[in-house]
A and B are shown apart, each in its own frame.
Chain A
Amino acid sequence: MANADARGISRRRVVKSGLAVAGARIAGPFVMSARAAEAVRIGLDNPLTGPVASLGKNELIGCQMAIDEINARGGVLGRPVELIVEDSTSGDAGTAVMKARKLIDRDKIDFLLGNDNSALALAMAQVSNEKGILHIVPGGHTDAITGSSCNWNVFRVCNTTQMEANAVAAALIEQYGKKSYYITPDYAFGHTLEAAMTKAIAALDGERVGGDLTPLGTVDFSSYLIKAQAANPDVIVFLVPGDDMLNAMKQAVQFGLQNKVHLAGAHQEMEPLEGLPPEARIGVWVMEWYWNQPGVPHVAEFVEATKKRTGRVPTARTWFGYVSVWTCALAAAKANSLKALDMAKALQDFHLPPEIALGPNPAFYCAGQNQLLASLFVGEAQAKGSAPDDFFKVTKVVNGAKVAGTLEESGCKMKWPT
């Protein structure tokens, strides 16, 4: 028995070494991959599969559009820029972190972009901070990214939940009434959004008559809707995003609740709106960017360019990706260097040019917090608009800078390397 084992083990050893060599051969091309030594590299580590795949894919399109434009204008610091895309998957942080490390260590990226998923964004921020790489978060919403967990090298394009809440609260009270009932998704995004909404509404004499925390991925909201209706509010505020919002709205409209109570919410996006049947496209919401902005220069060109590429209008996510990549290029240009520290300093209070900002208000990265303050679009979802993809009627464009809290409120204490 012992002899057989010894032989077995040595055979295994050979096999394992052989496999190892084979593995090295397969991995070989990666290590020695011929990437243009000259190019500036931007690494995108975002979900392209899983529940938020549609958002990640639209951001990717925005990134690609920006890359093409930048290269057409001579690149970054005279060098061509290329985008290296990795699917962070919607799985656990390990994959996203591993991909981030791969991008930084092996592919030698100069910039890191990602992630839509708040947990993954935070995990990646730790990596980028450790390695000193400039990191732009296009669409991860947890306030901590530019709040309690802020870092000098991490910048964020999309809004904080506080900003979204502040933007839409006034509209809700004016149009619908003071008593609100909240349907809140039970995770960080939901909690901060609800806290922000409650605070904003209280400041306007509004009243919270009740609320429910719903598990993420709830398919059936009927029990919550029953409770909500029994509490007799003026408006039911749906803070659930994405597919949860879809289910909730669909069911609420099926129940005919819109005839008894107003239905509204805070955060809204084109992607889930498209999945709603037309009769359920109702309510007051706030979007972070919208394509139909008559009278604002450059927007129409952006919309046309996107339509040519994909056949659909750009969504806020497309714009996030677009801004993220352009921010990298502009930071490098202003700092005249690719060193993260120089670029991060260059981005403090940095204003985006109008053809990137694509909105009526100035868009700039707030100093000390690295949060982009731009425009928020409050409006009503509509079944049909002036154009095929016009699902949202903008009633008010809010200036992000006016609804952002103070630096103290955000909890961000930024530490710069010496």
Chain B
Amino acid sequence: MSQVVLFNVFNGLIVGAFYALMALGLSLILNLSGVINFAHGGFLALGAYLAYTLIPYIGFWGALIVAPPLTAVLGLVIEWLLIRPLYGKDPLYSLLLTFGLAYIFEDVTRLIWGAQSVPFQVPGWLMSSLSSQYFFLTGYRVFMMIIVAAAVGGLFAVLKYTRLGMRIRAGTRDLDTVSTLGVNVRVLRSLNFGIGIYMAGLAGVLAAGLLGLSPTIGANLIMPSFVAIIVGGLGSLLGTLIGGLMIGVASGLAAVYFPSATEAVIYVMMALVLLVRPRGLLGEEGRLH
């Protein structure tokens, strides 16, 4: 039995890393711009479908490189057209807008690519397990871990070492001051949004190799992302990362002891965190308002 537990914890970390990737994009956008991007799942689906369409021409690796930036570009366009005017206003409006966008995305993907699930081709050598005993360590999952680690590492590096990153971090704390210091806040927000969507697109391409690709692929993934952010702490990216990993591990453990509660356990976790520490595990003070 303990082997099963160990396997599940291990596997939970891998799955959690994937959740973290998606949640991080969402968190990035939320922290700087105060926008709850309900359409994040839609961007994920779009990234996946774009990759699916591109694979016959440029192969899997090409699609992996090209699809996320393409999605980010679309994200930038939408940000410029629709979300930018909403920044000063009540967060209600951006939530409603992205909510409506989520509807549109699902319908458009269904229109273009059909309601049916489509087969997504991942290179064969990635698909098999690395070891017979640790069979759940497929090449693909390890690969996914590496990509997520790279993306997360890259994100944190950008935030820590580049000027853009510094501005984003400063802006997250106090956007007004950053603006008076002469930074073009509009551009900052756009770039931030673009990075967030890039991560959604990347998550989409990775997801398509793991799951069935259908227009509703994003819908099931958005709630765990929300919970990851709430648990990990509002305003903290590291918290979101940890939140995502915790979700993965918690689900894995639940599968061992309470199989039908794998979904419930993440909400229970969320409720506990809210009771004990409303701002989340690594949440910052003053982020509540």
Contact = CB atoms under 8 A, between A and B. Distances in A.
Interface of A: 49-51, 53-54, 57, 186, 212-215, 217-220, 222-227, 229-230, 243, 246-247, 250-251, 253-257, 260, 271-272, 274-279
A243 B117 contact: yes
B210 interface: yes
Q: Secondary structure of the B side of the interface?
A: helix
B214 A277 contact: no
B246 to A, nearest CB: 15
B256 A223 contact: yes
Contacts of A278: 119
B41 to A, nearest CB: 12
21 contacts: A49-B110, A54-B214, A57-B115, A212-B260, A215-B262, A217-B220, A219-B207, A220-B15, A220-B251, A222-B14, A222-B252, A223-B8, A230-B3, A243-B214, A246-B212, A247-B212, A256-B135, A272-B212, A274-B119, A276-B212, A279-B124
B259 interface: yes
B42 to A, nearest CB: 14
B116 interface: yes
Given A215-B262, A246-B212, 8 more contacts: A219-B207, A220-B210, A227-B259, A247-B210, A247-B211, A254-B127, A254-B141, A274-B116
Across the A-B interface, the 7 shortest Cβ-Cβ residue pairs: A275-B117, A246-B212, A223-B255, A53-B115, A213-B260, A54-B115, A212-B259
B218 to A, nearest CB: 10
Q: Give the bracket for the number of chain B residues in contact with chain A.
A: 35 or more
A225 B214 contact: no
A194 to B, nearest CB: 12
A250 B211 contact: yes
Contact of B116 (A54, A230, A255, A257): A54
Contacts of B260: 186, 212-215
Given A53-B110, A213-B260, A215-B260, A256 B116 contact: no
B15 A222 contact: yes
Interface string B113-153: 01111111110100111001001101011000000000000
Given A54-B116, A215-B263, A275 B128 contact: no
B12 interface: yes
B262 A226 contact: no
Give the interface centre of B8, B135, B212, B216 by most chain A CB atoms within 10 Å: B212
Contacts of B140: 254
B211 A226 contact: no
Nearest to A220: B15
Interface string B1-27: 001100110011011000000000000
Contact of B259 (A213, A220, A253): A213
Contacts of A223: 8, 11-12, 251-252, 255-256, 262
Contacts of A277: 119-122
A220 B118 CA distance: 18
Contact of B211 (A50, A229, A246, A260): A246
Contact of B212 (A186, A212, A215, A250): A250
A251 B207 CA distance: 12
Given A223-B251, A227-B4, A275-B118, A255 B129 contact: yes
Interface of B: 3-4, 7-8, 11-12, 14-15, 107, 110, 114-122, 124, 127-129, 132, 135-136, 138, 140-141, 207, 210-216, 220-221, 251-252, 255-256, 259-260, 262-263
A222 to B, nearest CB: 5
A282 to B, nearest CB: 14
A137 B12 CA distance: 41
A220 B110 CA distance: 23
Contacts of B220: 217, 219
A250 B216 CA distance: 17
B127 A279 contact: yes
Contact of A254 (B117, B128, B214, B259): B128
B211 A219 contact: yes
B136 A225 contact: yes
A257 B134 CA distance: 11
Given A227-B255, A230-B3, A275 B214 contact: yes
Nearest to B18: A220
Contact of A226 (B129, B136, B212, B216): B136
A218 B260 CA distance: 11
Nearest to A52: B115
Given A227-B256, A247-B212, A250-B211, A271 B117 contact: yes
A356 to B, nearest CB: 25
B221 to A, nearest CB: 7
B136 A222 contact: yes
Contacts of B115: 53-54, 57
Contacts of B14: 222
Nearest to A277: B119
Contacts of A254: 127-129, 138, 140-141
Given A219-B220, A227-B4, A250-B210, A255 B136 contact: yes
Contacts of A255: 129, 135-136, 138
B255 A51 contact: no
Contacts of B215: 53
A50 B219 CA distance: 10
